[in-house]
Amino acid sequence: MIRRLLAFGFVCAALAAASPCARADEDAVQFFHNIDVSRDQPVGDAVCFFCNVHLQGKATGDIVVFFGNSRIDGTVNGDVVTFFGNVSAADGSSIGGDLVSIFGSARLAENVSVNGDFVTVFGVAHAPSSASIHGDHVTLSPWIIFGPLLVIFLIVFVIVHEIRTRRQRQFVQNYPLPPT
């Protein structure tokens, strides 16, 4: 399952990096500048690097955000993927594909429909009971990676502390006391 998630993330990243020339005039790709999609002007794909996407209307393709947040208040026919950012879907929003958040949180409001999988990797997922998720709901906790790292850090800390304490004791034992 983890391999599928990683493969899905890499495929989404590769698709986001590729420039589709068939719908270039409908797509929005931005670096360091937010993408705001209004209700009266739909967008194909929205790809954003180091910025945010705020969708109030309709996206006929995917929404992919790197190091930013996605705010969905409308309809997305494709997937919504966010790396190192948060995803929030407003009341009554619809996502036609998967919703994936890697190293961030995903928050669904009331009556949100996700037709694919709802995946949160190393983040937090909030979904009320009224949210409709037609695929799998997968959440991989950050403690899967940070828990073992914390244990390793504590072991190294204890070992270094014991070595320093031993050396300090040896130094004090071998050092002559000054005359009084």
Measured CA to CA in angstroms, residue 64 lies from 12, 39, 103 at distances of: 8, 19, 14
Instruction: Determine the pLDDT at residue 14.
Output: 63
Q: How far apart are CA 155 and CA 141, in angstroms?
A: 22
pLDDT by position in tens, the chain (length 180): 676 766 666 666 665 555 443 334 588 888 998 998 888 888 989 999 999 999 998 899 999 999 999 999 999 999 999 999 999 999 989 999 999 999 998 999 898 989 989 989 888 888 888 888 888 888 777 777 778 888 999 999 999 999 999 998 888 887 777 777
Instruction: Determine the pLDDT at residue 156.
Output: 96
Q: How far apart are CA 27 and CA 63, in angstroms?
A: 10
Residues 34-69: b if buried by 16+ CB within 10 A, e if exposed: ebebeeeebbbbbbbbebbbbbeebbbbbbbbbbbb
Q: How far apart are CA 5 and CA 96, in angstroms?
A: 18
Q: What is the pTM of this model?
A: 0.67
Output the CA angle 98-103-105, nearest 5 degrees: 65
DSSP string of 8-25, one letter each residue: HHHHHHHHHHS--STTTT
Instruction: Determine the pLDDT at residue 72.
Output: 92
